[in-house]
Amino acid sequence: MRLMDRDSKSLLPLSPAVLHILLCLAGGPRHGYGIMQDVVEHSNGLYKLGPGTLYDNLQKLMDQRLVEEVRGKAANEDPRRRYYGLTKLGRSTLMADVERLANVVREAQLRLKPAGDLR
């Protein structure tokens, strides 16, 4: 198991909205509408963020220094839009929560195996 940054560990577990936002930003800077579209896409339409939820969470993430507003990072950037990117702490926090979730899934798989199934 990896050692987690103390600051990252104190922020776990991430809420579903925050997890989805950070996952989107792990691929590079995005503007708000792009984040909302990416969440729908990578959740196969099962999770949708409304503007209020998105921007409230982005502000909290900026206050926690997990996300920062970025400028001039994307070649086709629209100057009218605000773009957001992960900070180093944001990336380490996301990695820590993904590791936590992987452990939960492993435990669930073990417990949900039918009795007698030794695979």
- The domains of the chain, with CATH numbers, are 13-112 (1.10.10.10)
Residues 88-104, mean pLDDT to the nearest whole number? 96
pLDDT tens by residue, 69-84: 997 655 566 778 899 9
- Residue 55: name the closest of 21, 25, 23, 85 by CA: 21
What's the chain's Rg over C-alpha atoms? Answer: 17
| Beta-bridge partner residues of 55 | none
Look up the pTM and report it: 0.83
pLDDT tens by residue, 27-69: 999 999 999 999 999 999 999 999 999 999 999 999 999 999 9
- Residue 18: name the closest of 37, 39, 3 by CA: 39
Question: What is the rounded average pLDDT for all residues in the chain?
Answer: 89
